[in-house]
Chains A and B, each alone.
Chain A
């Protein structure tokens, strides 16, 4: 699991790569919450490089979404595919999160 960040037109883009499961989730949450400190309130989570997510990983995404909103920001999620998209749908997260196919669409949707 690897997490990296990019600045995109004033939005903090976070790429999550690999697996977000029971083994990696605690470490991932620490890194993500650290990345959010002092950064712009709007966040784009790129799940395109994510191969796998379990419910432990969903909890991480939920924690980040709550944190971003608590600080007055918006969070968009892009690039979910395959089993990751399937897990988001089964859990109902597809209707809770702001999901987009690609980054340009997501960026355009920030106010």
Chain B
């Protein structure tokens, strides 16, 4: 399944809805669906919030597929070159007051997904994620 959205946060909901339908049709279990939903929410939010240096509209492409009993997600954008997996938060706050917002999204993605790969290809960031189905 191929989905294209604009770089607007309000478009993320449509991708999540499409993902849920795709996972249900493919018979994937809830754990896989929720991990993928979280990963898409985090990646798309990062791209839309921090990925562009201009105010122009940009397209973000998402591909969903089944690959050797795994759910495969591909997210491609033409934002600034950025490998999210090199920028994981390592700092752990000791109190609510110390805790800074942000930084957890990518750690959630890499922990909940089985494989996360970044490539910069022809001016686009391409992130490919896999989540094995236990079913």
**Residue ranges of A at the interface with B (Cβ–Cβ < 8 Å):** 21-23, 52, 54-56, 58-59, 62-63, 65-66, 69, 82-83, 86-87, 90-93, 96-97
Our pick among A55, A62, A65, A82 for the contact of B105 (Cβ within 8 Å) is: A55
Q: Is the CB of B13 within 8 A of A55?
A: no
A47 to B13 alpha-carbon distance, docked (Å): 22
Which residues on the B side are within 8 Å of A86 (C-beta)? 112
Q: Is the CB of B12 within 8 A of A23?
A: yes
Our pick among B13, B101, B112 for the contact of A59 (Cβ within 8 Å) is: B101
Which residues on the B side are within 8 Å of A58 (C-beta)? 104
Contacts A66-B96, A92-B92 given: A54-B112 contact, CB under 8 Å? no
**Residue ranges of B at the interface with A (Cβ–Cβ < 8 Å):** 9-10, 12-13, 16, 31, 34-35, 37-38, 41-42, 44-45, 92-97, 99, 101-102, 104-105, 107-108, 111-112
Contacts A23-B13, A52-B34, A55-B105 given: A69-B42 contact, CB under 8 Å? no
B-side interface mostly: helix
Chain A residue with Cβ nearest B41: A54
A-side interface mostly: helix
Which residues on the A side are within 8 Å of B13 (C-beta)? 23
Q: Is the CB of A54 within 8 A of B95?
A: no
Which residues on the A side are within 8 Å of B97 (C-beta)? 66, 69
Q: Is the CB of B12 within 8 A of A22?
A: yes
Our pick among A54, A82, A96 for the contact of B99 (Cβ within 8 Å) is: A96
Chain A residue with Cβ nearest B96: A65
* Listed A/B pairs (20) with beta-carbon separation below 8 Å: A21-B12, A22-B44, A22-B45, A23-B13, A23-B16, A52-B34, A54-B38, A54-B41, A55-B102, A55-B104, A55-B108, A62-B96, A63-B101, A66-B96, A83-B35, A83-B38, A87-B38, A93-B99, A96-B95, A96-B96
